[in-house]
Amino acid sequence: MSDLVGGFVETRDATPEIQKICDKVKTEVEKETGRDYVEFSAIKYRSQVVNGVNYLIKVHVGDYLHIIVYVNLPGDEFSLLGVQQHHAKDDPLEPFH
């Protein structure tokens, strides 16, 4: 991985790996938002290498969510760190807590 430890990298198109991360935390996102999602599709993402990797992901659910997911190394644990609802398609992915 060529990303440097520190800030989030530029926004990239979601990959099948990013979709798998979304799938792992979907139930937790549903609990957090109080909604059940038929569609839960990763669109864009940014990553940040820490002691593991933080992923900031734009998810299409009819409208758009921004979620932050921490994935440990070697990648067997997934933790939902935050959810923002009611985003638009063109809203930039900006870190939040």
pLDDT digit string, tens, across residues 4-40: 557 999 999 999 999 999 999 999 999 999 999 999 9
pTM summary value = 0.93
Q: What is the pLDDT of residue 31?
A: 98
Under CATH, which number does the domain 12-87 receive?
3.10.450
Q: How would you list the strands of the sheet with 41-50, edge to edge?
A: 12-13, 41-50, 52-60, 64-71, 78-87
Per-residue CA distances from 26 to 14, 34, 39 (Å):
16, 12, 10
What is the domain partition of the chain in residue ranges? 12-87
Residue bearing tokens 């957090």:
32
pLDDT of residue 65 exceeding 50: yes
At 87, the pLDDT band (50, 70, 90 cuts) reads: very high
